Amino acid sequence: MVGDEMKYQSFIGLEVHIHLLTRTKAFCSCKAAFGDEPNTNVCPVCMGYPGVLPALNGEAMRMAATVALALDCALSSRTWFERKQYFYPDMPKNYQISQFASPVGVGGHVDIPARDGAVKRIRIKECHLEEDAGKMIHTGTMSLIDYNRAGTSLLEIVTEPDFETGAEAEVYIQQLRRMVRYLGVCDGNMEEGSLRCDANVSVNLSGAGLGRKVEIKNLNSSRFVRLGLDYEIERQMEVLEKGGTVRQETRLWNENRDQTEPMRSKESANDYRFFPEPDLPVFVADGAFTESVRAGLVELPYVREHRLIADYGLSEEQASFICGERAGADWFEAAVAESIRLGVDRSIAAGRVAVWLSTDVKRVLNRDGLDASSLAACRMTGARMAAIVALVATGRISGTIARQVFDAVLAEDAEPIDIVLARGWELDVDPESIDRAVDAAFSSEASAVAGALAAMSSGNHGKARSLGSFLVGKAIAASGGKAEPGLIKAAVDRRLAAAASHAEQGARA
Amino acid sequence: MMQSVYPDGFRAYFDAWEARIGSFLEYDAQLLETAARQAAGSSSLSDDADVAGLPFGVKDNIAVAGMQLSCGSRLLDGFISPYSATSVTKLMGAGAVPVGKMNMDEFGMGSSTDGSAFKRTNNPWDTDRVAGGSSGGPAAAVAAGLVPFALGSDTGGSVRQPANFCGVVGLKPTYGAVSRFGLVAYASSLETVGVLADTAWRARAAFMAMRGQDELDQTSAEWPAGAPGDRRHGGCMVAPMTIGVLSEGAATLEPEVAFGFDEAKSALKAQGHRIVDIELPSLTYAVPAYYTIATAEASANLARFDGIRYGNRPQYSDNPEELVDKTRGRGFGDEVKLRILLGTFVLRSGFQDRYYLRAQRIRAGIRHDFERVLHGCDAILMPVFPTRAFGRGEDGLSPFAQKVADVFTCCANLAGLPALAFPTGVAGGLPVGVQLVGPAFGEGALLDIAEAYEATHPIARPVGYQSWWGTK
C-alpha cells in the first residue's frame, strides 16, 4: 500500500450542511423543530401554497455570517439568493432557495492538526445559506411526507479538495462540529442530521492533478466519514491500478457492509437552472448587522485550547478535554478565576479545578447521562467549585471532606462553606489546639518519640519518617480528627527536630 | 308590471349582465346585494369612506380566505385559499367587501381570458368580442357596473389591456408599492396587484387603501412621504404638466386606436398640459425581453403545482414522480405548458447568457431609457394596445400577434414603473383609450391627469349600464 500511496494522490473536498439553531424557519415564522408531530410546524409559506412569498429570517443570516467569519471567510457586503430548480416530492416549491453567485462568505480556511505535530491548512471555498426540504417516508403502498423540516435554515460549508485521507476529514468534521457548537449556531448532532456531510473524492497519479470526481453521501458520523473516504480512496486506486477508469457517480456509504455503493442514478445530470430569487431583495449588510455578527463571535475552541495551555500551564490533553465543550471551558475558567480571587495560587487553582473536572465532575455528568455542555445549568457552579478548592488549599477542610462537600452541594444545592459550617467539618487550625494535640500524643507515645529520636540520630530516615507519621496520626486522633493535618505534621516535625537538637547539644555538653 | 325599485333591481341587473358576460367564477350574491343597497343609501361618498361598504371583485389568482383560488386552471379547480392576500386584507380593513372571484387567462397567461379553463368572458360592449386579458373578468364586471372596482394583476399589461378593451380605468402600480403577498406568482419581478375601476377617483381610493410596505413581501416598499397626488381633485383642474408623447409604433395601431390617441393628445393639450415628443429606442426589444424573463420566472413559479399538497391529481399513481407528471400533464392548459417550456429553455445552463441574462441587460436598458425620458417630463403618453377589443375565430388575433401587441404595456413592467390606462372615447362602438407612464411612486400625478380628463370627457358606458355605486 505504501507504494500505491506514493504512486497515487487523493483529493477530498467536503460539503457540510449544518442546521442553524434559529427559532423560526429561514423564510417563514414557523417553529424550526422537526422532532414534533408530523406537519404541525407548517404554514402556507413553507408548504409552497399558491401566492405566498418568502421573508428572510435575519437571525439565519446573522448565524450564517458568524460561521463564515469564524472560518476566516470574507463576508459579502451584498448577498442574494438563487432558485435551484429540481423536482422532488418533499420539496414544496420544487425549487430550493439557495445561494449561488453571492455566498454569505468566501475564501476562508481552518487549520487541522497534521500527522507530525504540524498543522495543515484546509481552504474553505464558501459558506452559503439555503432552506432544507421535508422528509419522505415510504410505507408499503404509500409515500408520506412530513414538512416540519421544510424551510428550516441550512448553512452549507464547502471546502476545497484539500484533504488527502479519511482521518484528516474526520478531524475536520470534529473540529467544525465543536466550532459551531461553540458559536451556538448548531447542535452538531450528526445522528439526527443537524450536521450532514457529503464528500467528493478523486484519486489520480501523483502530480497529475484532480482525478474523476465521485460524490459520497450518507456519511452520518465522523467515523463513517473516515471509513467511507478511506474505503473509497482504496477502491479508486484499485480501479486505476487495474487500468480502469473511475466512473463519475454518486455513491452511498453502507454502514452495515462498510463499503460505498453506487446510488441509482438518473440518466441525465440535473440542470438546476439557477436564477436570482425575485421574491427576495438583495441583502445589504448594514453596520448593525455587522456589529451583531461580530458580537456572535466567541473565542474558538482551537484558540482557547492554546490560551489555556499558555495561561494556566495545562497539558495539551487537559486543555483539549476542557475545551471539548464551550460550557465546560467557561465553567473551568470561572472556577479558576474565583479560586484565584479567594487567594489560591494560579497554577494550583488551575491544576485542582482541572482534576475535579476530569474526575468527580465528569463522573457525576456521566451518571446523569449528561456532558460538559450542560455544565452551565449544574448545581456545582464554577464559583462553588472554587470555594471547595480554596477551602482545601487554605487547609480548612481535608481532601476527604472535600469529596463529601462536593456530593452535598449537588444533593442540597447549597454553598460549600454553609455545608462545612453546618456539619462542623472545618479543620481546627488554632495553634493552641494543635499544640495540645501534639502534647497529648508525645506524652502518651513516649516510646515512639524516643524511637524516632534514636532513628534520627542514627541516620535511619525511613524509620524516623514512619514513626513521625505515627505520631501525626495519634495527634490528629487526640484532636478528635479535627486538627488540620498539615499543621499537626509541621508541629510534630518541629518538636522532634527540637528534641533531637537538644539531645545532641546535651551529648556534646 | 311595475318596474322593481332601485336598489332591489340590482339582483336582476346583475344576473342579466352576468349571463351575457360571464365575469365571475364564484360570487356571493347576498353580499353583493347588501352592498348595492348600502351604496344606494348613502347619497354621497366622503373622502374618509372612499371604499367603505363597497363590494369589490378579485381576480382568481389573488387569495381571499375561504374563497376559491383557481387561477383559471383546471389544476387548481376547487382549491380554497386558507389565507387572504395583503391587498385584500387592507381593502377589507378600509371597509370594502370582497364578493367574488373573477375569470382570467390561466395563471395570467393571455390577452383574451379565453385561456380560462372554465368559461368565456365577453366584452360588455359587444359580447362577440373578448374582454381582454388576463384580467378579463374584472374588466368586464366593472365595465358592466356589477362592481365599482376589482383587483387584477398586471405582469405585462394584464390590468391595462382588458381595462382598455372594456372602457374602464386600469392602474398598474409601481413595483413594490402594493404587496404581492397572496398574488399567485406568474413572473415575480414583473407583476403587481392592480386596480380596475369605474373612475380614476375610485382607482385612486382603492390604490391608497392597499398600498404600503408589507413584512410578508420583502420586495414591497414604504409609500414615500413626499409622493405626489394624494389629494382628491374630484374633477378640479390640475396644474399643467409636461407630458411626453411616444409616437413610435403609431403605424402598427388600428386606425380607430390611432385616431383616439390623437384626440386624447389634443384634449390634454387643450387642458393646458405641455406636450412634447419623446423616443424610447429600447422598446424594440421589449417584447422578446419580456417573454424571456416572464417565462423563465414562470417555469420556476409554477413548479409548485405538483398535486402533492393540494390541487387536482390522478386517483392513482405508481410513484410520486408519476403523480407529478400526470397532475401537470392534465392540469395545465397549452399556453401555460408552452410558457413553462420556454422558460425552462431560456434558463438552461450554458444558454443563460444568450437568453436570460441578455433579456436582463435589455431590461436595464429600458429602465434607463424611461429614466432619461422621465427626467424631462412628468408622464409619458402611450397607446395601451394596438387594437380595440378583438373578436374570436377569424376576427381574433393569433397568439403570436397578441404577444407582439404587448409592447406598449410590458415595458412599464420591465421598468417597474406605474402605468394608468384610462378610456378616452368610443370608436366604432368600442372603447378606446390611452395610458400614462410615470416615475416610480408617481401614481398620484397620473391619476390627477386622468381625473381632470374625465371631468371634461365623462367615461362612456356600454348600453344597458346603470350606475349603482355613486361617484365623487
Q: Is residue A240 assigned to a domain?
A: no
A44 vs B324: CB contact, 8 Å cut-off?
A: no
Q: Evaluate whether B125 touches B462 at the Cβ level (below 8 Å).
A: yes
Which residues are bridge partners to A119 per DSSP?
A: A113
A267 touches chain B (CB under 8 A): no
Same domain, A419 and A502: no
Q: Which of A253-267, A391-405, B346-360 has the highest mean pLDDT?
A: B346-360
Distance CA B175, CA B187 (A): 12
- Binning chain B into helix, strand and coil, the percentages to the nearest 5 are 40, 15, 45
- pLDDT level of residue A51 (50, 70, 90 thresholds): very high
Q: Is residue A252 assigned to a domain?
A: no
Same domain, A335 and A400: yes
A51 vs B321: CB contact, 8 Å cut-off?
A: no
Which pLDDT score, from 0 to 100, does residue A268 have? 52
Same domain, A321 and A275: no
Residues 6+ apart with CB under 8 A from A250: A214, A215, A216, A217, A262, A263, A265
Number of domains, chain A: 3
Same domain, A277 and A392: no
Which pLDDT score, from 0 to 100, does residue B1 have? 38
User: How far does CA A405 lie from the centroid of its chain?
Assistant: 28
* E strand intervals along A140-256: 142-146, 153-159, 195-205, 214-217, 250-254
pLDDT tens column, A162-190: 999 999 999 999 999 999 999 999 999 99
Candidates B47, B44, B458; CA nearest to B235 is B458
Which pLDDT score, from 0 to 100, does residue B41 have? 65
Same domain, A313 and A439: no
Which pLDDT score, from 0 to 100, does residue B391 have? 96
Distance CA A202, CA B20 (A): 70
- From B69, B297, B324, residue closest to A87, measured CB to CB: B324
Candidates A258, A263, A271, A279; CA nearest to A97 is A279
- Residue B214: closest CA among chain A residues belongs to which residue? A55
B304 vs A143: CB contact, 8 Å cut-off?
A: no
Which residues are bridge partners to B55 per DSSP?
A: B97
- pLDDT level of residue A2 (50, 70, 90 thresholds): very low
Q: Which residues of A touch B299 (CB under 8 A)?
A: 85, 273
Q: Domain boundaries in chain B? A: 10-288+356-456
Q: Count other C-beta atoms under 10 Å from residue A196's C-beta.
A: 19
Q: Could you say which residues of chain B have pLDDT below 70?
A: 1-8, 41-49, 229-237, 471-472
Which pLDDT score, from 0 to 100, does residue A1 have? 47
Q: Evaluate whether B132 touches B113 at the Cβ level (below 8 Å).
A: yes
User: How far does CA A504 lie from the centroid of its chain?
Assistant: 62
Q: In what helix (H) or strand (E) does residue B102 lie, and over which residues does it extend? A: strand B97-102
B303 vs A87: CB contact, 8 Å cut-off?
A: yes
Amino acid at site A360: D
Q: Is residue A257 assigned to a domain?
A: no
Which pLDDT score, from 0 to 100, does residue B297 have? 98
B79 vs A136: CB contact, 8 Å cut-off?
A: no
A107 touches chain B (CB under 8 A): no
Q: What is the DSSP letter of B439?
A: S
Q: Is residue A381 assigned to a domain?
A: yes
Q: Is the pLDDT of residue A5 over 70?
A: no
- From B76, B297, B321, residue closest to A278, measured CB to CB: B297
Which pLDDT score, from 0 to 100, does residue A117 have? 77
- pLDDT level of residue A429 (50, 70, 90 thresholds): confident
B344 vs A48: CB contact, 8 Å cut-off?
A: no
A85 vs B300: CB contact, 8 Å cut-off?
A: yes
Same domain, A188 and A150: yes
Same domain, A344 and A477: no
Chain A closest-CA separation from residue B53 CA (Å): 26
3-state class (DSSP) for residue B25: strand
Q: Evaluate whether B351 touches B135 at the Cβ level (below 8 Å).
A: no
DSSP of A240-307: HHTT------EEEEETTTTEEEEPP--SS------EE-TTSPPEE--HHHHHHHHHH----HHHHHHH
- DSSP-H helix ranges across B377-442: 399-404, 407-415
Which pLDDT score, from 0 to 100, does residue B7 have? 56
A48 touches chain B (CB under 8 A): yes
Q: What is the pTM of this model?
A: 0.89
Same domain, A43 and A189: yes
- DSSP-H helix ranges across B282-355: 286-301, 320-331, 334-346
Same domain, A338 and A355: yes
Q: Which residues of A touch B69 (CB under 8 A)?
A: 50-51
Q: Which residues of A touch B187 (CB under 8 A)?
A: 278
Same domain, A111 and A92: yes
**Mean pLDDT for all residues in chain A:** 92
- From A48, A83, A143, residue closest to B320, measured CB to CB: A143
B308 vs A145: CB contact, 8 Å cut-off?
A: yes
CATH code linked to domain B10-288+356-456:
3.90.1300.10
Distance CA A150, CA A34 (A): 9
Q: Is the pLDDT of residue A3 over 70?
A: no
Domain boundary among A423, A457, A475: A423
A264 touches chain B (CB under 8 A): no
Same domain, A59 and A32: yes
Q: Evaluate whether B150 touches B163 at the Cβ level (below 8 Å).
A: no
Q: Is the pLDDT of residue A263 over 90?
A: no
User: How far does CA B257 lie from the centroid of its chain?
Assistant: 19
Which pLDDT score, from 0 to 100, does residue A394 have? 87
Domain boundary among A400, A423, A446: A423
> What mean pLDDT comes out for the span A235-263?
92
Residues 6+ apart with CB under 8 A from B405: B111, B385, B386, B387, B397
Which pLDDT score, from 0 to 100, does residue A132 have? 96
Q: Evaluate whether B164 touches B195 at the Cβ level (below 8 Å).
A: no
A51 vs B344: CB contact, 8 Å cut-off?
A: no
Which pLDDT score, from 0 to 100, does residue B5 have? 41
> What mean pLDDT comes out for the span A197-203?
96
Cell (9 digits) for B84? 387572504
B59 noted as active-site residue: yes
B134 noted as active-site residue: yes
Which pLDDT score, from 0 to 100, does residue B172 have? 98
Chain B closest-CA separation from residue A56 CA (Å): 8
A272 touches chain B (CB under 8 A): yes
Catalytic hit among B111, B158, B220, B282 = B158
Q: Is residue A237 assigned to a domain?
A: no
> What mean pLDDT comes out for the span A290-315?
92
Which pLDDT score, from 0 to 100, does residue B260 have? 95
B219 vs A278: CB contact, 8 Å cut-off?
A: yes
Task: List the domain range (segments joined by +) for residue A81.
Answer: 13-199+271-289
Same domain, A353 and A487: no
- Residue B184: closest CA among chain A residues belongs to which residue? A51
Distance CA A84, CA A361 (A): 49
Q: Which residues of B touch A56 (CB under 8 A)?
A: 218
B153 noted as active-site residue: no
Which pLDDT score, from 0 to 100, does residue B232 have? 56
Q: Is the pLDDT of residue A199 over 80?
A: yes
